[in-house]
Structure 1
């Protein structure tokens, strides 16, 4: 099933992929604090209107979309890497660790 809202699913349908997880991090810029990552598996049968790059959205719209994502997603997870982990393995590796944890937390 192709999706106008999620064009990537078109090519993935051809590959017969069951689920696609998206993952991204936040917090790599600050000098202090944890780095966070979120992973989500969206349901192509339940597209979310207005879903876009978070940097292109207002804070209010991001909050509304967060609620819709939690309600409609097949699975989602938020994970972090601590400041101590960042100090020990560096910010890039800590970001990757947080993303790995988020994907592993998907049910």
Structure 2
């Protein structure tokens, strides 16, 4: 068996293999989560922002984000202004899944 090694000197990402070994995630979800983990914290994590650097469109990215959210790898929280108007979404991207919060 051939072994390939890449010299890592710059511009690489270190992440957990957990999501890559998770058999319940689609390849698309594994790839998107890997991409999201490689981005800086101040990146535009909206579906439009993510679609701008992917081949897939906004709808496909949105469906994949929902898959990752259901699996516990992404937590989304709506951000509202003082008047209660929705102003955006806050994303928490996790290397290890977190069980979804149980509602009352």
TM-score of the two chains, using structure 1 as the length reference = 0.32
Higher helix share: 1
More relative contact order, 1 or 2 (CA 8 Å, 6+ apart): 1
TM-score normalized by the length of structure 2: 0.33
The structure carrying a bigger strand percent of its residues is: 1
